[in-house]
Amino acid sequence: MPPHLIDGEPHDHAHDRPKRQRTPGEPLRIGIGGPVGSGKTALVAALCRQLREELSLAVLTNDIYTTEDADFLRRNAVLPDERITAVQTGGCPHTAIRDDITANLDAIDDLIAANPPLDLILVESGGDNLTATFSSGLIDVQIFVIDVAGGDKVPRKGGPGVTFSDLLVINKTDLAPLVGADLDVMDRDATKVRAGRPTAFVSLTEDPAATPVLAWVREQLAAAAAADRAGAETSVAH
Amino acid sequence: MNASVNARAILYALADSRLPIGGHVHSGGVEEAVASGLVRDLPTVEAYLCRRVATSGLVAASLAAAVCAGELTEARADAEADARTPAPEARAASRAQGRGLLRLARQIWPHRDWSTLTPRPHLSTAFGAVGAAADVPPAEIAGIVVYTTLTGAATAAQRLLALDPADIAACTVRLAELCDRTAAEAATGPAALSDPLQDVLAQRHVLRDMPLFAS
């Protein structure tokens, strides 16, 4: 992408973050991180319900305490059991998605082997803090989920999730009037640090399909498919 | 030190708890030992660590050293480890960590033939093969396996009991001589030993609700 303007400021993508080199045909891996209680698991459930009829997907959870989130997803029957796996993180969910991703990589290999072919794997982090972020060795793109009830100052506090996630989701907008959160302030603060990366405001209670997030996920899937096709054409040309 | 070590930093990297092989999700039986009341405070942590080094540490280090020296094939070493680890969950924990080390090794030394290992080798087998790939002398691999057997469990104890990290570091230093002695013994050949406590803890761990660690 050539240099362009955002808010009147010159902007290019020379400072883009490192990305995983996806092998064509591999399932797209989307990381979903964010603080405790922000609605990560509810978002995963919503995406599964919307996407499970049209593509083959699986979910990997990283709970602080064992299989709480995976159990929620199973109880709600958003996917068959064999498409949901939980990894234990030794009390450090952050370590398991950033510093030593081995347990997650092994679990992904097992999901791929057990459910061929897979188009999409959602990797949900354990509830953590604002410094949590996924290693680019583990996922292709990541969503960071915060909620308005955590206070409208959260985007201003920043951190790698708020700043560098490929999609920032601000959840529970229906609660904004109840907790005195100003959505415009959150939008403005997020825009300031995100250098053009998108932000989506959702209320999963009012919009159970998570429409803007779903649209973004479909874009990512389409981009991955296009990259696969381009790769295939290049290899034929050679 | 044997002259075949091409860089001391390789030894340090292999002994570093930050080595990304998935070790941080395993407590070496400590979580169950804490849940069972066996390990409660610094003295009981130290007693547990001494035992773990002298049993599991010795056995794993001896098998790793033998693989590294070419005295045991990887397949034979896996069978020897199974024979010394009757509990299925203890075997699974060892093989899960071996799989993690093998994953890393394939990435670091892509040109070496790793097909002599199963996809889930015991951790001791994987360490032996990595030692051979990295030109680390068997005695040094034994030392690394003993040391990481100690530190993995020690770190888990520190987290689970919210101990002063300095106390755990001091405990590690106190046990340094035991580690060296154990590694030296391990380098003399496969230890004929198993530890029922480690087996029982591994089995009980998977039955308990809400574990933080995989083992």
pLDDT of residue A15: 59
B21 touches chain A (CB under 8 A): yes
The answer, yes or no, to whether residue A38 has pLDDT greater than 70, is yes
A195 touches chain B (CB under 8 A): no
Contacts of A65 in chain B (CB under 8 A): 210, 212
Q: What is the mean pLDDT of residues B22-30?
A: 96
B119 touches chain A (CB under 8 A): no
Is there a cis peptide before residue A117, judged by omega within 30 degrees of 0? yes
Q: What letter would DSSP give residue A148?
A: G
Average pLDDT, chain B: 95
Are the Cβ atoms of A103 and B100 closer than 8 angstroms? Answer: yes
pLDDT of residue B58: 98
Q: How confident is the model at residue B2 (pLDDT cuts 50, 70, 90)?
A: very low
Q: How many CB atoms lie within 10 A of CB A12?
A: 11
Residue A192's SS3 state is helix
Q: What is the mean pLDDT of residues B205-213?
A: 89
Quick one: which of A147, A145, A144 has its CA closest to A173?
A147
**C-alpha pair distances (Å), B179 with each of A55, A176, B92:** 53, 58, 25
% chain B with pLDDT above 90 = 94
Question: Do B21 and B148 contact (CB within 8 A), yes or no?
Answer: no
The answer, yes or no, to whether residue B3 has pLDDT greater than 60, is no
Quick one: which of B12, B17, B54 has its CA closest to B186?
B54
Q: Give the nearest chain A residue to B103 (CA atoms).
A: A102
For the stretch A52-106, pLDDT in tens is: 999 999 999 987 666 677 888 888 878 999 999 989 888 888 899 999 999 999 9
pLDDT of residue A74: 84
Q: What is the mean pLDDT of residues B111-118?
A: 96
Instruction: Kindly indicate whether the domain formed by B3-200 is annotated with CATH number 1.10.3720.10.
Output: no
Is there a cis peptide before residue A80, judged by omega within 30 degrees of 0? no
Are the Cβ atoms of B20 and A102 closer than 8 angstroms? Answer: yes
Both structure tokens of B78: 């896996």
% chain A with pLDDT above 90 = 72
Contacts of A91 in chain B (CB under 8 A): 159-160, 212-213
pLDDT of residue B39: 97
Question: Do B117 and B95 contact (CB within 8 A), yes or no?
Answer: no
Lowest-pLDDT choice from A64-73, A136-145, B164-173: A64-73
Q: How confident is the model at residue A10 (pLDDT cuts 50, 70, 90)?
A: low
Q: How far apart are CA A50 and CA B168, in angstroms?
A: 49
Q: How confident is the model at residue B145 (pLDDT cuts 50, 70, 90)?
A: very high
Both structure tokens of A160: 């790698």
**β-sheet with A141-147: strand ranges across:** A84-88, A57-63, A120-124, A28-33, A141-147, A167-171, A199-201
Q: Give the nearest chain B residue to A104 (CA atoms).
A: B22
Beta bridge partners of A28: A120
B15 touches chain A (CB under 8 A): no
In this complex, which of B24, B156, B212 lies closest to A65 when CB atoms are compared? B212
- Give the angle subtended at the CA of B152 by the CAs of B39 and B65, to the nearest 5°: 120
Average pLDDT, chain A: 90
pLDDT of residue A88: 87
pLDDT of residue A234: 76
B157 touches chain A (CB under 8 A): no
Lowest-pLDDT choice from A64-78, B57-71, B80-94: A64-78
A110 touches chain B (CB under 8 A): no
